[in-house]
């Protein structure tokens, strides 16, 4: 299975929300308890219009019958949505997060539970890092709940340094940062 990464399209909106809820629920968290998810209801204005990026991973081979439940990945116009992730200029991110001049932030990194541990998250992360370099960012920030062990391992394995911890809305968070090198 090889997912194709592409830029978000407005026709992905419902599938993006469904994947978000499914992946978060599968990780043992109530999606309604995640603060600040309004950005997923307006990906164009929240990411693309502010100089960021939002990528989706679509598996055309998995295209099915418009499944949108936990039996499989949600469908979008060109296949099954198996991954997603966004990148924002740091100053356009959430006001309660740290500020690092010249940095971009990763947000809403999700891989369908049925497609995890296949390298899709690493490919998505690398593509978002390339987008950050192309936009002139010097570093990328990521924050995830400590209990999201797959995400913690992904960031550590990709060279991110844990630079702090905090607690928000009942979640123990780990803050990561990675310095970027020049164009890839």
The model's pLDDT over 15-33, given as tens digits with 9 standing for 90+, comes to 999 999 999 999 888 888 8
Q: How many domains does the chain have?
A: 1
Phi, psi at 9, each rounded to 5°:
-125, 140
Nearest to 75 by CA among 112, 29, 28, 31: 112
For residue 184, is it within any domain?
no
Q: CATH number of the domain that 129 lies in?
A: 3.40.630.30
In this prediction the pTM is 0.90
pLDDT digits (tens, 9 = 90+) for 74-116: 999 999 999 999 999 987 766 656 788 899 999 999 999 999 9
Residue 89 forms part of a structural domain: yes
Helices and strands in the chain: count of H runs, count of E runs: 4, 8
CB 8 within 8 A of CB 16: yes
Tens of pLDDT, residue by residue over 138-179, are 999 999 999 889 999 999 999 999 999 999 888 899 999 999
Q: Which structural domain, as residue segments, surrounds residue 163?
A: 4-179
């Amino acid at each position: 299975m090889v997912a194709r990464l592409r830029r978000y399209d407005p026709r992905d909106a419902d599938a993006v929300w469904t994947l978000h809820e499914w992946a978060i629920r599968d990780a043992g968290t109530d999606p309604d308890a995640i603060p600040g998810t309004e950005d997923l209801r307006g990906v164009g204005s929240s990411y693309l219009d502010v100089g960021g990026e939002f990528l989706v991973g679509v598996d055309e081979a998995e295209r099915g019958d418009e499944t949108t439940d936990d039996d499989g990945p949600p469908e979008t116009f060109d296949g099954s949505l198996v991954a997603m992730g966004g990148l924002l200029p740091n100053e356009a991110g959430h006001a309660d997060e740290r500020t690092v001049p010249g940095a971009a932030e990763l947000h809403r990194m999700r891989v369908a539970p049925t497609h995890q541990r296949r390298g899709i998250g690493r490919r998505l992360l690398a593509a978002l890092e390339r987008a950050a370099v192309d936009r002139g960012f010097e570093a990328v920030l990521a924050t995830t709940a400590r209990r999201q062990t797959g995400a913690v391992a992904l960031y550590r394995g990709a060279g991110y340094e844990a630079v702090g911890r905090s607690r928000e809305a009942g979640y123990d968070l780990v803050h990561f940062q990675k310095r970027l090198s020049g164009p890839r």
